[in-house]
Amino acid sequence: MKQLRMRVQPAMIIVCAVIWTLLWGELSIMNVVVGAALGLLIGLVFPMPPIIGSARLRPLGLIWLALTLIYDLTRSSIVVMGVVLRIGHTPQNAIVGVQLRTRNDFYLTQVAELISLVPGTIVVEARQSTSTVYLHVLDVSGQDDLSGIRRLVYTTESRVVRAFGTRQEIAELRAAKEDR
């Protein structure tokens, strides 16, 4: 009974019903019922653990996360364009592993997604067991570039925790930052 209760997630059922109704473009009882039934069926056939347990939405942190993402996208797009247009230059690429300071699947996923959006980096693996992301990085010329990539990952993690974390998680992240 407990296992069945874990599979049935009301939030997923509601989201599926809303998405189904939007896809059909018409608000009707039939569309809502079919969407909810699909959400229930998906939860039963493909059970997933709940991702957000204690996370909270922090509007100011979310705004800051969005603004800095736009900045990172713009800056890195210009850098990648420079690498591509540089004639006679063969970029040296690297795979970099960075272990996150937090042990939360939601944060790991968000950091991996945000880092993958930034041109010049792509997450090739994210290990849940160690909270480590492995990145393919374009045009690495030395330790300074590797340190910069690690800083980018840690800064992104910090922004994600400040946008979705609890007060305790934010405080723990600050303490971990001071220990480094």
Per the domain annotation, does 52 fall within a domain? no
pLDDT band for 113, please (50, 70, 90 cuts).
very high
Res 1: pLDDT = 46
Averaged pLDDT, 152-157: 94
Instruction: Say yes or no: 28 and 64 in one domain.
Output: no
Domain that holds residue 143: 59-179
Instruction: Say yes or no: 156 and 103 in one domain.
Output: yes
Instruction: Say yes or no: 35 and 83 in one domain.
Output: no
117, 110 Cβ separation under 8 angstroms: no
Angle at 26 between CA 30 and CA 7, to 5 degrees: 50
Phi-psi region of 98 (alpha: psi -120 to 50; beta: other; left: phi over 0): beta
Per the domain annotation, does 50 fall within a domain? no
Decide if pLDDT at 176 tops 90: no
Instruction: Say yes or no: 73 and 151 in one domain.
Output: yes
pLDDT band for 116, please (50, 70, 90 cuts).
very high
CA distance 112 to 81: 22
Per the domain annotation, does 23 fall within a domain? yes
If one counts the domains in the chain, the total is 2
Per the domain annotation, does 51 fall within a domain? no
The residue with greater pLDDT, 140 or 50, is 140
Res 52: pLDDT = 53
Q: Which amino acid is at 48?
A: M
pLDDT digits (tens, 9 = 90+) for 37-77: 999 998 888 877 665 555 688 899 999 999 999 999 999 99
Instruction: Say yes or no: 84 and 165 in one domain.
Output: yes
Averaged pLDDT, 121-148: 91
Instruction: Say yes or no: 38 and 87 in one domain.
Output: no
Instruction: Say yes or no: 82 and 168 in one domain.
Output: yes
Per the domain annotation, does 173 fall within a domain? yes
Instruction: Say yes or no: 82 and 116 in one domain.
Output: yes
Per the domain annotation, does 20 fall within a domain? yes
Instruction: Say yes or no: 37 and 99 in one domain.
Output: no
Per the domain annotation, does 74 fall within a domain? yes
Token duo for residue 108: 């790991």
β 132-137/94-99 pair status = antiparallel
Res 50: pLDDT = 61
Instruction: Say yes or no: 66 and 35 in one domain.
Output: no
List the single range of 19-23, 92-96, 171-175 with lowest mean pLDDT: 171-175
27, 50 Cβ separation under 8 angstroms: no
Whole-prediction pTM value? 0.72
Sheet of strand 121-127, all strands in order from the earlier edge strand to the far edge: 94-99, 132-137, 121-127
Instruction: Say yes or no: 72 and 150 in one domain.
Output: yes
Instruction: Say yes or no: 82 and 157 in one domain.
Output: yes
